Amino acid sequence: MPRVIPELARESLWPADADEARALQDRLAPRVRVEPLDPGGVRLVAGLDVSYGAAELVAAAVVLDAVTLEVVAQATVRAAPSFPYVPGLFAFRELPPLLAALERLTVEPDAYVCDGYGLAHPRRFGLACHLGVLLDRPVLGVAKNAFVSEAAEPGPTRGAAADLVDGGEVVGRCLRVQDGVRPVYVSVGHRADLDSACALVLRLSPRHRICEPIRRADRLSRAELAAPAGGKQT
């Protein structure tokens, strides 16, 4: 159901090589908007993730009720990788299949959470920013470790946080979502600010380190990857 303007997708997802990909990121980065995200406006949240097999991948999107965290809709897409994994150019590898999976959804999410970075990226345009700009909807990036940025060790309890800094600027936040458990790295993708992003991630992580939307998408993509190809594609 979520759609991207065809021209924008065609021009910003298929670079001929790494240099062109970096140029595309530099050209699109100015479109990112950082602004408060109204918690009450987020009823449906989509979690995105991709699992890899020998020569194929499965992209999954799972939509949850932001309050009850119950699954409202989900979709998967099986495809062949169309771009190699290059640190910093992650979006060109995962966005095409993820967008295809999103188109299969039967509901319109109010916000999206994806694996990886938003502004905590070398050119301030990680996967979360790229997806946000293409959809022009709120998107957050949650990674399991830092890339270009550094952060102090946050306090030991849930909710404790420390600035993620790169080149002298705050690009995200190292956030502990469970007592005594390693923190996650949150950065804004689009149409959100750090405070609202962290508040939402905490709400979406009532029990585990990985927030529920991404957790569900991870499980779904793995299950579909293991399932016999050609079967029902949610």
Partner DNA sequence: GCGACAG
Partner DNA sequence: ATCTTGTCGC
Residue 53 beta carbon to DNA: minimum distance, rounded to whole angstroms: 7
Backbone angle region of 183, left / alpha / beta, with phi > 0 → left and psi within -120 to 50 → alpha = beta
Give whichever of 52 and 154 is closer to DNA, judged by the CB atom: 52
227, exposed or middle or buried, with CB in 10 Å at 0-12, 13-18, 19+? middle
Residue 109 beta carbon to DNA: minimum distance, rounded to whole angstroms: 19
Residue 87 beta carbon to DNA: minimum distance, rounded to whole angstroms: 4
* Distance of alpha carbon 131 from alpha carbon 208, whole angstroms: 25
Give whichever of 105 and 186 is closer to DNA, judged by the CB atom: 186
Residue 81 beta carbon to DNA: minimum distance, rounded to whole angstroms: 9
218 annotated as a binding-site residue: no
The two structure tokens encoding residue 11: 């021009």
Give whichever of 65 and 179 is closer to DNA, judged by the CB atom: 179
Residue 62: enclosing H or E segment and its boundaries?
strand 57-65
Asked if 37 contacts 111 with a C-beta cutoff of 8 angstroms, the reply is: yes
The two structure tokens encoding residue 64: 């949850």
Q: Which residues pair with 77 in a beta bridge?
A: 59
Edge to edge, what strands does the sheet with 150-151 contain? 71-79, 57-65, 44-52, 111-115, 139-143, 184-190, 169-175, 161-166, 150-151
Residue 89 beta carbon to DNA: minimum distance, rounded to whole angstroms: 6
Which residues make up the interface to DNA (CB under 7 A)?
49-53, 85, 87-91, 115-117, 121, 126-128, 141, 143-145, 147, 222, 225
193 annotated as a binding-site residue: no
* Distance of alpha carbon 192 from alpha carbon 212, whole angstroms: 19
Give whichever of 40 and 145 is closer to DNA, judged by the CB atom: 145
Annotated binding-site ranges? 49, 115
Binding region for Mg(2+): 49, 115
